[in-house]
Structure 1
Amino acid sequence: MRLDVERVSLGRGGRQVLDGVSFSCERPALVGLIGPNGAGKTTLMRLVAGLARPGPGRVALDGKDTADMAGKERARRIAYLSQERSVSWPLACRDVVMLGRHPHRRPLAPPSPQDHEIVDRVMDELRIAPFAHRRIDTLSGGEKARVLIARALAQAPDVLLADEPTDALDPEHQIALMERLAQIARSGRLVMVTMHDLSLAARWCDRLIVLDRGRLKADGPPDETLTPQLLSEVYRIEAATLSWEGVPLVVPVRLAPRDDAERAV
């Protein structure tokens, strides 16, 4: 399975959100899509999910444009977890997770034993089984996020796209989620996540794609990508790059010095 992003550009409101972005991914891999606010990460994620079309350029999965796929085919192959976590449905959490199995069932068919098994397993892995009969609109933001992540995982897609999946999660559940995403990638899938936590990205991602102002700035393994020069140019920070028991850490320390031209902007 191969994902190709070919010279993708997109303008919005008189601003170039993406400008000629190209890369290819093959499974298995856990790919981190990183960059500062406004870099174009969410827009690119939506294009990869087939929820929008680029201006110039093309996004293809095994040679087929994702935006041309029928809805059910796309839902079987690609799961997309939006950055937006607001939910007002008065549904039990288990029913919400079961929605992830819908693309795999015939119209009006009830959930199969396999569907129930997958939903129970995913809920156990994300430690939300105790929420099974609680209404999702009664949960905290972090609890709700874990239920919506479980729904995406229940789709069992070839490609899992998650826009800031660790946002609103406490450290325990951030690590548990990243462990699970890494396991999914190792099982033979392509997982792509947008992230702001550079230490989580360095620890868990096989590859980092860095966007800045709509352009591809860097692409490669974390230890080759998160250089002092890149952190200064893209994030405008100085950071300590450390290792603790073999685990890479990136700790922002201070703002990078700015030249007079940058101060004037």
Structure 2
Amino acid sequence: MNRRGAKAPEAKAPRLEAEGLKLAIPGRSAGGAMEFALEPGQVWGVLGPNGVGKTTLLHTLAGLTAPRTGRVCLDGQPLGSLRRRSIARRLGLLFQERMDGFPATVSETVMMGRHPYLSLWQRESLEDIERLQSALSALDLEALASRPVSTLSGGERQRVALATVLTQNPAVWLLDEPTNHLDLHHQSAVMALISVEARQGRAVMMCLHDLNLAARWCSHVLLLYPDGEALAGRCDEVMTLGALERLYRQRLSVAQMDGAPVYMPRVERAAPPTDLSDSAWRHP
């Protein structure tokens, strides 16, 4: 309540914005500037061939890599003006590659997600422990809680990393290939978890290689082309057959299954085209 007795306006939920953003990728043209905003409840998929800059984009949005031009804003504030602890409380990043061979258990590693909220010598609170236990349960890790991370498989380590982000409880999730190393059951479980978190107000952006995961689970996509061009928008508007074939330089077929499009590479009886340039895949 304010001093006049009226209800104070609710604080605007954090979101991430790219304004005139060009990525700094050595040896590659900058292309056009990117403009997009991650709103609460949205799930964005970043699609593109290898080496196009998907990981660089996430690192730039997290403030770990400086852009060539433009800026990133978190909740309306330039990222460069915010302290790292403030960013870490609102933005979580799942790395594609992790240095997780140090001697720590699964529980100890997942609890690191609470570090942005703790002072140097502060012990974890009951709330921190409850968040840890909830994350372990959500990622099917309870039976592995006391295991050293160094003894886990690649898929188990991936779930530990995701549980750490869940324990961190940020408003914005940046996930670099969240289904990497996961078996089919855990892929589906992780994507369902991400969808639930988005419905609870999180804003999510994740790099994916699977078109069908993006089509089924994402509300928006960002297509990154090798020439630096970028297309952003709702899945049903951006994921056209022509745009995707040009993106991957691959002929595709599309069908509907359970209410979502399913994309499959076309098997050509004739020899594949010898011209793999971008212009060869442009549709009228």
Deviation at 1:214, TM superposition (A): 5.9
Is residue 16–residue 72 contact of structure 2 (8 Å, CA) maintained in 1?
yes
Partners of 1:228 and 1:180 in 2: CA distance: 28
Which residue of 2 is the match for residue 148 of structure 1?
Answer: 161
Partners of 2:194 and 2:218 in 1: CA distance: 9
Partners of 1:230 and 1:203 in 2: CA distance: 17
TM-score (normalizing by structure 2):
0.87
Which residue of 2 is the match for residue 180 of structure 1?
Answer: 193
**Which blocks of at least 5 consecutive residues in structure 1 are unaligned?**
none
Residues 1:146 and 1:18: Cα distance change in structure 2 (over 3 Å): farther
Identify the match of residue 84 of structure 1 among 97, 108, 113: 97
The answer on 1:33 being equivalent to 2:60 is no
Which residue of 1 is the match for residue 221 of structure 2?
Answer: 208
Deviation at 1:260, TM superposition (A): 4.0
The answer on 1:59 being equivalent to 2:93 is no
Q: Deviations over 1:5-24 (max 9, x none)?
A: 01112334333366422212
Deviation at 1:154, TM superposition (A): 0.8
**Which blocks of at least 5 consecutive residues in structure 2 are unaligned?**
1-13
The answer on 1:236 being equivalent to 2:255 is no
**Local SS of the residue matching 2:222:** strand
Which residue of 2 is the match for residue 262 of structure 1?
Answer: 277
Which residue of 1 is the match for residue 81 of structure 2?
Answer: 68
The answer on 1:168 being equivalent to 2:181 is yes
Partners of 1:206 and 1:84 in 2: CA distance: 26
**Local SS of the residue matching 1:15:** coil
Q: Which amino acid aligns with 1:60?
A: C
Partners of 1:172 and 1:180 in 2: CA distance: 12
The answer on 1:4 being equivalent to 2:20 is no
Partners of 1:87 and 1:142 in 2: CA distance: 13
Which residue of 2 is the match for residue 101 of structure 1?
Answer: 114
Aligned length: 265
Which residue of 2 is the match for residue 22 of structure 1?
Answer: 35
Partners of 1:251 and 1:170 in 2: CA distance: 20
Residues 1:261 and 1:49: Cα distance change in structure 2 (over 3 Å): closer
Residues 1:261 and 1:210: Cα distance change in structure 2 (over 3 Å): closer
> Computing the radius of gyration over CA atoms, which structure comes out larger, 1 or 2?
2
**Local SS of the residue matching 2:63:** coil
Deviation at 1:226, TM superposition (A): 2.0
Which residue of 1 is the match for residue 266 of structure 2?
Answer: 253
**Local SS of the residue matching 2:60:** helix
Moved more, 244-253 or 38-47: 244-253
Is residue 25–residue 53 contact of structure 2 (8 Å, CA) maintained in 1?
no
Which residue of 2 is the match for residue 218 of structure 1?
Answer: 231
Which residue of 2 is the match for residue 190 of structure 1?
Answer: 203
Residues 1:19 and 1:224: Cα distance change in structure 2 (over 3 Å): closer
**Local SS of the residue matching 2:24:** strand
Deviation at 1:110, TM superposition (A): 0.7
Is residue 52–residue 67 contact of structure 1 (8 Å, CA) maintained in 2?
no
Identify the match of residue 127 of structure 1 among 140, 149, 157: 140
Residues 1:5 and 1:156: Cα distance change in structure 2 (over 3 Å): same
Partners of 1:53 and 1:262 in 2: CA distance: 30
RMSD: 2.2
Is residue 3–residue 60 contact of structure 1 (8 Å, CA) maintained in 2?
yes
Is residue 35–residue 196 contact of structure 1 (8 Å, CA) maintained in 2?
yes
Partners of 1:127 and 1:260 in 2: CA distance: 47
Deviation at 1:86, TM superposition (A): 4.0
Equivalence map 1:40-55=2 (5 Å): 40-55=53-68
Which residue of 2 is the match for residue 111 of structure 1?
Answer: 124
